[in-house]
Amino acid sequence: MRIAQLAPLAECVPPKLYGGTERVIAWLVDELVDLGHDVTLFASGDSSTRAKLHAVWPRALRLGRRGVDPNAASAMMIEAIARRARDFDVIHSHVDWLPLPVLSRTGVPFLTTMHGRLDLQGLSNVIGTFPQAPFVSISANQRRPLPDANWIATIPHGLPRDLFRPSYENGSYLAFLGRLTAEKGPEAAIRIARAVRMPLRIAAKIPRGETAYFKKKLEPEIDGHNIQLVGEVDEVQKQPFLDGAAALLFPIDWPEPFGLVMIEAMACGTPVIAYRSGSVPEVVEDDVTGFIVDGEEQAIEAVKEVVRLDRRKVRARFEERFLASRMATEYESQYRELVVRGGRCA
Same domain, 125 and 230: no
Is the pLDDT score of 301 beyond 90? yes
In a domain, 165, yes or no: no
The CA-atom distances, in angstroms, between 118 and each of 122, 138, 256 are: 10, 12, 10
Per DSSP, the three-state class of 2 is strand
Same domain, 111 and 61: yes
Question: How do residues 219-252 score in pLDDT, each as one tens digit?
Answer: 999 998 999 999 888 888 999 999 999 999 999 9
Q: Tell me if 200 sits within 8 A of 176, measured CB to CB.
A: yes
Alpha helices (runs of H) in the chain, residue ranges in sequence order: 20-34, 70-84, 100-103, 123-129, 140-143, 186-196, 211-213, 235-243, 260-267, 280-283, 296-305, 311-321, 324-342
Give me the domain span that covers residue 195.
173-321
Whether residues 86 and 202 share a domain: the answer is no
User: What's the chain's average pLDDT?
Assistant: 95
Residue 148 lies in a domain: yes
The least confident of 16-25, 59-68, 275-284, 292-301 is 59-68
How many CA atoms within 13 Å lie on the side-chain side of 89? 19
Number of folded domains in the chain? 2
Statement: residue 165 has pLDDT above 70: yes
The reply to whether 166 falls in a domain is no
> Are 57 and 205 found together in one domain?
no
Q: For residue 52, list its beta bridge partners.
A: 40
Which pLDDT band holds residue 17 (cuts at 50, 70, 90)?
A: confident
**Domain membership flag for residue 301:** yes
Residue 186: CATH number of its domain:
3.40.50.2000
The predicted model gives 112-118 an average pLDDT of 96
